[in-house]
A = this chain, B = another copy of it.
Amino acid sequence: MNRYDSLTIDGLQYANWSEKIFREMNEGGVDAVHVTIAYHENFRETVLNMEQWNRWFEQFPDLICLARTATDITEAKAAGKTAIIFGFQNPSPIEDDIGLVEILYSLGARFMQLSYNNQSLLATGCYEQNDPGITRMGKQVIQEMNRVGMVVDMSHSAERSTLEAIDISARPIAITHANPQFWHKALRNKSDTVLKALAESGGMLGFSMYPHHLAGAGDCTLASFCEMIARTADLMGIDQIGFGSDLCQDQPDSVVEWMRVGRWTKEIDYGEGSADNAGFPPQPSWFVDNRDFGQLRVGLSEAGFSKGDVDKVMGGNWFRFFSDSFAPR
């Protein structure tokens, strides 16, 4: 156990969950993780994924628990557990039914991306050629998400849709896992325009440690990563940033294929990869699993962040954001 006084929160993971990983979260002093429980799953399939999590909560009550509120996180920390926050990378779990927003909120969901790479019923994904912005249903769903306390996440959405979501949402939104394009130009990373609008509206960016989002991919150094964070803090302010590691630990390559192609195409789509780099890319040496959050603390200090600012980036900002976001209006 390596718990810090201050909070350590990860804004996104999609690991191949196991007791081993839950123990690593505990060893790493990770107090809360937003876990993806749906990529392309429909409502019933998402519920099946929740059922699996319920089994894990029952099997490992000393390691993990479900977080419905920010307070659940501090209680989990006090009990030495990692709080799990449910989220979707795609609005597929609500199908075409706005009533499912509140149903899924009641079941614990606290984040939902309005699109995942492709056009959805709500918004455009970052790999589409054309982005007509938030749809009619999208506007209604944002309003409903605002009402119940489910955070709009635009990590995989296209630029115009993202800017419109920031504008339409009455509550701050999140980009839980992405990096700035000024550091590494990737379709999934975000422009200065988006990052500034996000920050000005009170939203949050979670820095990704997924190799395709890193300058130099798996060879990216911790110093380069933390220097990028310092530049982003200059752009967005120290209060609007945290981590969203996008850690996909222990997943077979079949899972990255599922993420990319789901059931929407019969062809192979390599997403952020390529034909000769189709699987999960290797992680940078300084962030391999949940025990490595301590290295991020060191890296931030060495990049010149004060102790107080390190605490904000490590989890304090996410905690404040969760406190403001997870309750009904």
In the complex, which residues 34-52 of chain A have their Cβ closer than 8 Å to any Cβ of chain B?
43-44, 47-48, 50-52
Contact-residue size bin, chain A (C-beta under 8 Å from the other chain): 10 to 19
Measured CA separation A54–B105 after assembly (Å): 12
A107→B99 contact, CB < 8 A: no
Q: Which single residue of chain B is at the shortest CB-CB distance from A54? A: B102
Number of copies: 2
In the complex, which residues 99-122 of chain A have their Cβ closer than 8 Å to any Cβ of chain B?
99-100, 102-103, 106-108
Task: Please give, as numbers and ranges, the residues of chain B lying within 8 Å of A234 by CB-CB distance.
Answer: none
Majority DSSP secondary structure for residues of A touching B: helix
B54→A99 contact, CB < 8 A: yes
B106→A47 contact, CB < 8 A: no
B106→A48 contact, CB < 8 A: no
Task: Please give, as numbers and ranges, the residues of chain B lying within 8 Å of A106 by CB-CB distance.
Answer: 106-108
Task: Please give, as numbers and ranges, the residues of chain B lying within 8 Å of A47 by CB-CB distance.
Answer: 43, 100, 103
Measured CB to CB, the closest approach of chain B to A161, in angstroms, equals: 26
Measured CA separation A100–B52 after assembly (Å): 11
B100→A51 contact, CB < 8 A: yes
Measured CA separation A151–B107 after assembly (Å): 20
Task: Please give, as numbers and ranges, the residues of chain B lying within 8 Å of A107 by CB-CB distance.
Answer: 103, 106-107
Task: Please give, as numbers and ranges, the residues of chain B lying within 8 Å of A100 by CB-CB distance.
Answer: 47, 51
Q: B-facing mask of A75-111, CB < 8 A → 1, else 0?
A: 0000000000000000000000101101100111000
5 nearest CB pairs, A to B: A51-B99, A54-B102, A106-B107, A47-B103, A106-B106
